[in-house]
Chains A and B, each alone.
Chain A
Amino acid sequence: MRQAFINTLMELAEEDDSIYLLTGDAGFTILERFRDRFPGRYYNVGIAEAAMIGLAAGLAMSGKTVFVYSIVPFVTMRCFEQVRVDLCYQKLPVKLVGVGQGVTYGTAGATHHAIEDIAVMRALPNMTVICPGGPIETKKAVAASLDLTGPCYIRLGKSGEPTVHKSEDISFAIGRGIRVREGVGVALVATSNMVPTAVAAADLLEKEGWKPEVISMHTVKPIDRELLAATAGRCPLIATLEEHNLIGGLGSAVAEVILADDLHARLITFGIPDQYAPVAGSQEYLRDLFGLLPEQVAEVIRDKLKEKIVSGKP
């Protein structure tokens, strides 16, 4: 996803000389090409995130299109108040790009995990929160972000994420979820790099005769209420999947829509249960610990489907 980001940004920057890239001293093996190609529009601001956001604001006020890159906690939470005042309050179209969504940097420990970022970014007025579900969505999201008039946060993983789309020819719009697979009875609504997990869990359920729908909810704010309403019509059970605290992220956003729009659906939320990783572990290990592997997800959904309140068999 990092490569998809930088490749897209390189292409856009060739066409648009207002594009600037700031980094908080992160980006080894990723940002060098941009630095070398556009030296006057690239700044390693240093390990100084508060200053970096303020600098981005000033550049944006002067007509620049600024992307700010760092590891998620440092580009969202370390400088939260600068993001709030300089970018959101002033409604400036700066793009925050965070790498290492969820527990991508597993063994690094919770300082480098991103499990509260969606919640805090979502709470900011004027902020758009985009969590692409793989490299193709990343590419589309970065390009689409140029049209936003306010700030956005683009939450990326690292590298090697699979894509669930067969080609780049997908219809992508910020604020519009993508129906990856049509189904009935149950819908798996996933964000960020839990989208491939949703597809894998759906595959397992299909083998047993269920017909799950899968949605990539790449924009968590503003969330696609229409898509959720249409989905709830066919799927009385909705499961959300995210590598994020169960408090405040995608699951919460979907729950808000179900309640506010009076959708007739039951909700199961898969995520991280309000705790920091209690042990060192790889992303895979921690997903297992938190019940986020496809088999674990499929098992919980299967049990729910078998309960008589929800009849999901086609």
Chain B
Amino acid sequence: MNTAEISREIRQRLVRMHQTGSHFGSAMSIVDILTVLYFRVMNIASPDDPGRDRFILSKGHATSAWYTTLARKGFVDEKVLDTYLKDGGQLYGHPVRGGVPGVEASTGSLGHGINIASGIALAGKNDGRDYRVYVLMGDGEIQEGSVWEGAILAARLKLDNLVAIVDANNLQGFDRVEKIQPIRTFRKKWEAFEWGAREVDGHDHDQLERALREAPFVPGAPSVVIARTTKCKGVKEMEDCFESHYLSVPKDKVECYCRELEEEQ
């Protein structure tokens, strides 16, 4: 499937959605990861099929990308996207379980997703189901201690049906990630916690697909894909700028950004 086309559509939608609110850059960063998961890798015919693969967005602040992917997948009415951050609606700035079909867990506070994912993965194994659980974390997020409690736990439970993805864009709320916990140390850390680890270009769909399909990388162990990404990917003047974590898209830039995305092909 031509997933490049899908990613482009999703990014253009995000440009329009993000005329209010923050986290535009965070959302743009993960579009390729979500596209590859939902359109190439995950086995998910409907959002409530008990056998479906699960996805949890642990970096909940990037949820606009998730909503948009779920809409592109057909699980959510496109029109619902217009209610993003609107009073009285269900499209909160962080995802809420039950609010939108396909949103598996309420997140937004960082460091929670990995352990929820482990619980779902453990239940799947104990019940003899063959679904997989994917959890996407930010590179700043993995400074949370609960992530490393979870890393110990998932390895010890031998959750080879669990795949964590780290959106490694080297930016977090108020700094470069490398000043706090450098990305170059990630792989060794996860491997030291007895996870199988791979590093890929997080915007290269083929690389992402290959890694996600080849997991588990170590038999009987959980897997982590460290996806090297660029914050706000696709909009050159905001790429790799931490301000894109906070700023909305100016009204007069919308068409210009959408055109830029069109031409990138």
Chain A positions within 8 Å of B, measured between CB atoms, are 40-41, 43, 45-46, 48, 50-64, 81-82, 85-86, 89-90
Distance between A42 CB and nearest chain B CB, rounded to angstroms: 12
Select from chain A the residue with minimum beta-carbon distance to B107: A85
- Please measure, in the bound complex, the distance between the C-alpha atom of A81 and the C-alpha atom of B123, giving whole angstroms: 23
In the complex, are the beta carbons of B121 and A58 less than 8 A apart? yes
Check if B30 is an interface residue, CB within 8 A of chain A.
no
Pick the contact of A55 from B107, B119, B126, B127 — CB < 8 Å?
Answer: B119
CB contacts (< 8 Å) of A82 on chain B: these are 112, 115, 146
Chain B positions within 8 Å of A, measured between CB atoms, are 96-97, 104-109, 111-112, 114-124, 126-127, 145-146, 149-150, 152-153, 156-157
CB contacts (< 8 Å) of A62 on chain B: these are 119-120, 123-124, 127
Pick the contact of A86 from B112, B124, B153, B157 — CB < 8 Å?
Answer: B112
In the complex, are the beta carbons of A50 and B145 less than 8 A apart? yes
CB contacts (< 8 Å) of A52 on chain B: these are 115
**CB contact under 8 A between A58 and B152, given known A85-B109, A85-B112:** no
**CB contact under 8 A between A53 and B115, given known A62-B120, A89-B106:** yes
In the complex, are the beta carbons of A55 and B118 less than 8 A apart? yes
In the complex, are the beta carbons of A51 and B123 less than 8 A apart? no
In the complex, are the beta carbons of A40 and B126 less than 8 A apart? yes
- Please measure, in the bound complex, the distance between the C-alpha atom of A85 and the C-alpha atom of B107, giving whole angstroms: 8
- Please measure, in the bound complex, the distance between the C-alpha atom of A275 and the C-alpha atom of B218, giving whole angstroms: 52
Describe B's contact surface by its main secondary structure.
helix
Distance between B47 CB and nearest chain A CB, rounded to angstroms: 13
CB contacts (< 8 Å) of B153 on chain A: these are 45-46, 48, 51, 55
In the complex, are the beta carbons of A58 and B112 less than 8 A apart? no
Distance between A44 CB and nearest chain B CB, rounded to angstroms: 10
CB contacts (< 8 Å) of A89 on chain B: these are 96, 106
In the complex, are the beta carbons of A58 and B106 less than 8 A apart? no
**CB contact under 8 A between A54 and B123, given known A61-B104, A85-B106:** no
- Please measure, in the bound complex, the distance between the C-alpha atom of A270 and the C-alpha atom of B120, giving whole angstroms: 44
* Number of A-B residue pairs at CB separation under 8 A: 90
| 6 closest residue pairs by CB, A with B | A58-B119, A54-B115, A62-B123, A51-B149, A50-B146, A48-B149
In the complex, are the beta carbons of B119 and A57 less than 8 A apart? yes
In the complex, are the beta carbons of B116 and A58 less than 8 A apart? yes
CB contacts (< 8 Å) of A64 on chain B: these are 123
CB contacts (< 8 Å) of B122 on chain A: these are 55, 58-59
In the complex, are the beta carbons of A61 and B152 less than 8 A apart? no
Distance between B137 CB and nearest chain A CB, rounded to angstroms: 13
- Please measure, in the bound complex, the distance between the C-alpha atom of A40 and the C-alpha atom of B125, giving whole angstroms: 11
In the complex, are the beta carbons of A58 and B150 less than 8 A apart? no
Select from chain B the residue with minimum beta-carbon distance to A85: B109
In the complex, are the beta carbons of B116 and A61 less than 8 A apart? yes
**CB contact under 8 A between A63 and B123, given known A51-B115, A54-B114:** yes
Pick the contact of B152 from A41, A46, A60 — CB < 8 Å?
Answer: A46
In the complex, are the beta carbons of A54 and B106 less than 8 A apart? no
CB contacts (< 8 Å) of A40 on chain B: these are 126
CB contacts (< 8 Å) of B121 on chain A: these are 58
CB contacts (< 8 Å) of B126 on chain A: these are 40-41
CB contacts (< 8 Å) of A56 on chain B: these are 119
Other contacts beyond A50-B146, A54-B118: 9, CB < 8 A: A41-B126, A46-B153, A50-B111, A54-B116, A55-B118, A58-B119, A62-B120, A62-B127, A90-B106
Distance between A21 CB and nearest chain B CB, rounded to angstroms: 13
In the complex, are the beta carbons of B115 and A55 less than 8 A apart? yes
- Please measure, in the bound complex, the distance between the C-alpha atom of A51 and the C-alpha atom of B122, giving whole angstroms: 13
CB contacts (< 8 Å) of A63 on chain B: these are 123
Q: Which of A43, A45, A50, A64 has the most CB of B within 10 A?
A: A50
Q: Which of A63, A64, A81, A86 has the most CB of B within 10 A?
A: A86
CB contacts (< 8 Å) of A55 on chain B: these are 115-116, 118-119, 122, 153
Select from chain B the residue with minimum beta-carbon distance to A94: B119
CB contacts (< 8 Å) of A86 on chain B: these are 106, 112, 115-116
Distance between A271 CB and nearest chain B CB, rounded to angstroms: 32
- What would be 19 A-B contacts, judged by CB atoms less than 8 Å apart? A45-B153, A46-B149, A48-B150, A53-B115, A54-B114, A54-B115, A55-B118, A55-B119, A57-B116, A58-B121, A58-B123, A61-B104, A62-B119, A63-B123, A85-B106, A85-B107, A85-B108, A85-B109, A89-B96
CB contacts (< 8 Å) of B119 on chain A: these are 54-62
CB contacts (< 8 Å) of B114 on chain A: these are 54
- Please measure, in the bound complex, the distance between the C-alpha atom of A51 and the C-alpha atom of B115, giving whole angstroms: 5
Select from chain A the residue with minimum beta-carbon distance to B117: A58
CB contacts (< 8 Å) of A46 on chain B: these are 149, 152-153, 156
Select from chain A the residue with minimum beta-carbon distance to B115: A54
In the complex, are the beta carbons of A51 and B105 less than 8 A apart? no
**CB contact under 8 A between A90 and B105, given known A50-B111, A54-B118, A58-B119:** yes
